[in-house]
């Protein structure tokens, strides 16, 4: 038996690789199964904490998941988790860019494999809709505020706007002068104690109460968050006299850093401690050599002053044909109405940050619309 050696073996391997590449993409489906290799590949491909096996498992966010895999030259290039329910497929990947080519290929494969499927839904993705071949409905559903990271913390500070840079330096100098014990430290994964995470969330709840709002962080959410911190977490904590006064809870996947909770003790409002904690979080990401920082959703002014840039994320519904889209007119109308409500709420939120006559008119109109409902709620409560 002959075994190729040296140059002959290398030539044979190159020929095999070329043959695989020439064969084109290989598509695989795993119905009602998430193979073991998926966890690492999702992290490598997308570096998005919202699209990780750990997050799906902890939040029970991907029930009855199936897996779609594309391999090119033997390497995985696309990986979607999805659920097939009747005539609809819901893709679980979210809060990430998806190439139109990948959407087209996935739709081709799904519609060919599952003859009953009429609709494929993506949530919170960015893509080039005009390059998608299928009839679709595209509506805004979320935003992602992010920035590419510079090479150093010094370069980041220099790149900030003049007024922002001066304000940050002044706030840091003031808190250090007034509180010489002020310290900032980062804790990764298991280093971050439950007490630390809970204290930062408690600051967030207090802040929401001060604003007359209800925090989204229920006890169940906190328990899940603690588990996700153990897997991907980085907690930047500020202390005064060894007591926590503020911090940022983030997740790090690959070279991408995702801010999740930012909060501080309101007694230190005068020092802009929330913004400082966000700045320290960005600097921590830079020190770790990360490439991208995500401020998350929510169009808060401090994110833009710290150089965040907004990308709108869309809900994308693809239909097998125009006829199927027409048959689903009720759903199309429902999705459109939801998008209109979101735009209205966002405009109110923007007006709360503004000071123009138009902003005041919008707020007054919104309050007038709420008044009958609030009165009815009070009457029912008696």
Residue 372 has pLDDT above 70, yes or no: no
Position 374 in a domain: no
Cβ-contact 325, 332 below 8 angstroms:
yes
Residue-level pLDDT at 3: 43
The proportion of the chain whose per-residue pLDDT surpasses 90, expressed as a percent, equals 74
Cβ-contact 89, 58 below 8 angstroms:
no
Position 224 in a domain: yes
Among the residue ranges 33-47, 210-224, 264-278, 359-373, the one predicted with the least confidence is 359-373
CA gap 117, 110 in Å, rounded: 8
Residue-level pLDDT at 215: 75
Residue 379 has pLDDT above 60, yes or no: no
pTM of the model: 0.84
| pLDDT average, residue stretch 343-354 | 62
H-run or E-run covering 377: helix 357-381
Same-domain pairing of 320 and 223: no
Local confidence band at 107 (pLDDT 50, 70, 90 cut-offs): very high
CA torsion angle for 284, 289, 291, 297 (degrees, to 10)? -20
Q: Choose among 39, 61, 62, 42: nearest CA to 224.
A: 61
Residue-level pLDDT at 328: 85
Compute the mean pLDDT over every residue in the chain, rounded to the nearest whole number: 89
Local confidence band at 358 (pLDDT 50, 70, 90 cut-offs): low
Same-domain pairing of 278 and 336: no
| pLDDT average, residue stretch 355-373 | 61
CA gap 89, 71 in Å, rounded: 21
CATH of the domain at 160: 3.40.630.30
Local confidence band at 208 (pLDDT 50, 70, 90 cut-offs): confident
Structural domain range at position 74? 23-143+312-344
Among the residue ranges 8-12, 59-63, 179-183, 357-361, the one predicted with the least confidence is 8-12
Residue 200 has pLDDT above 90, yes or no: yes
- Domain total in the chain: 2
Local confidence band at 360 (pLDDT 50, 70, 90 cut-offs): low
Burial of 273 (0-12, 13-18, 19+ CB in 10 A): buried
Same-domain pairing of 126 and 175: no
Same-domain pairing of 49 and 110: yes
- Kindly report each contact of residues 54-57 with a partner whose C-beta sits within 8 Å and lies 24 or more positions away, as own/partner: 54/228, 54/231, 54/232, 55/228, 56/81, 56/92
Residue 19 has pLDDT above 60, yes or no: no
Position 248 in a domain: yes
Cβ-contact 286, 150 below 8 angstroms:
yes
Position 349 in a domain: no
Same-domain pairing of 117 and 157: no
Residue 158 has pLDDT above 80, yes or no: yes
């Amino acid at each position: 038996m002959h075994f190729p050696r040296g140059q002959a073996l290398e030539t044979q391997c190159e020929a095999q690789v070329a043959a695989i590449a020439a064969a084109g993409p290989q598509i695989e489906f795993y119905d009602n199964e998430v193979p073991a290799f998926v966890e690492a590949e999702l992290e490598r491909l997308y570096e998005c904490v919202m699209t990780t096996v750990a997050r799906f498992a902890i939040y029970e966010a991907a029930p009855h998941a199936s897996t779609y895999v594309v391999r090119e030259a033997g390497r995985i290039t696309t990986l979607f988790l999805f659920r097939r329910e009747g005539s609809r497929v819901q893709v679980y990947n979210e809060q990430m860019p998806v190439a139109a080519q990948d959407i087209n290929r996935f739709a081709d494969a799904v519609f060919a494999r599952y003859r009953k499927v009429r609709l494929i839904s993506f949530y919170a993705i960015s893509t080039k809709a005009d390059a998608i071949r299928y009839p679709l409905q595209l509506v805004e559903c979320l935003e992602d505020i992010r920035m590419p990271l510079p090479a150093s913390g010094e370069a980041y500070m220099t790149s900030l706007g003049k007024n922002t840079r001066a304000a940050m330096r002044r706030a840091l100098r003031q808190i250090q002068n007034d509180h010489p014990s002020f310290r900032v430290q980062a804790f990764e994964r298991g280093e971050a104690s439950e007490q630390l995470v809970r204290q930062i969330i408690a600051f967030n709840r207090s802040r929401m109460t001060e604003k007359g709002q209800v925090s989204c962080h229920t006890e169940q959410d906190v328990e899940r968050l603690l588990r996700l911190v153990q897997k991907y977490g980085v907690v930047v904590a500020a202390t005064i006299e060894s007591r926590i006064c503020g911090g940022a809870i983030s997740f790090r996947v690959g070279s991408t850093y995702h801010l999740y909770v930012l909060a501080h003790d309101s007694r230190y409002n005068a020092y802009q401690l929330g913004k400082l904690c966000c700045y320290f979080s960005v600097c921590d990401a830079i020190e770790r050599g990360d490439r991208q920082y995500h401020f998350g959703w929510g169009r808060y002014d401090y994110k833009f002053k710290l150089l965040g840039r907004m990308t709108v994320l869309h809900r994308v519904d693809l239909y097998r044909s125009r006829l199927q889209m027409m048959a689903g007119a009720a759903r199309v109308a429902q999705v459109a109405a939801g998008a209109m409500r979101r735009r209205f709420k966002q405009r109110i939120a923007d007006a709360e940050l503004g000071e123009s006559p138009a902003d005041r008119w919008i707020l007054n109109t919104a309050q007038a619309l709420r008044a009958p409902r609030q009165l009815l709620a009070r009457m029912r409560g008696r």
